[in-house]
């Protein structure tokens, strides 16, 4: 069983971890937002260019065809966006898990105090 001092040390350590994760989460969120914006801009530009090119030569293309071709054009930025989005999800999950550990440690400390330890 953990002593009260060990619980207090673990609470401090988890609090520091949460602070670091929160800072990292902000950075990752910024990167994800920039990657999303970059992808959406490239995708939109590619769609417009594909439609313009098709119209210039008299070809008709469906919306699905335009989207598929635009995705190929913007595939690298799409991949970057997906990776950044996944990293943001992972860091948020780590932050939630750390907060849950902190809550558990606080409950242990409260129980210890209540028991007179």
12-47 pLDDT tens trace: 999 999 999 999 999 999 999 999 999 999 999 999
Domain that holds residue 94: 4-114
34-80 pLDDT tens trace: 999 999 999 999 999 999 999 999 999 999 999 999 999 999 999 99
CB 116 within 8 A of CB 57: no
> Token pair for residue 75?
């595939």
77-103 pLDDT tens trace: 999 999 999 999 999 999 999 999 999
The full length of the chain comes to 117
Is the pLDDT at 117 greater than 70? The verdict is no
Quote the number of domains for the chain. 1
């Amino acid at each position: 069983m953990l002593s009260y001092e060990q619980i207090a040390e673990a609470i401090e350590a988890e609090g520091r971890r949460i602070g670091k994760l929160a800072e990292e989460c902000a950075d990752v969120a910024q990167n994800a937002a920039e990657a999303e914006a970059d992808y959406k801009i490239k995708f939109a530009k590619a769609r417009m260019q594909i439609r313009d090119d098709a119209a210039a030569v008299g070809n008709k293309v469906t919306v699905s065809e335009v989207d598929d071709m635009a995705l190929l054009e913007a595939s690298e930025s799409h991949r970057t966006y997906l990776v950044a989005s996944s990293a943001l999800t992972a860091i948020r999950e780590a932050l939630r898990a750390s907060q849950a550990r902190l809550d558990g440690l606080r409950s242990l400390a409260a129980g210890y105090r209540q028991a007179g330890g």
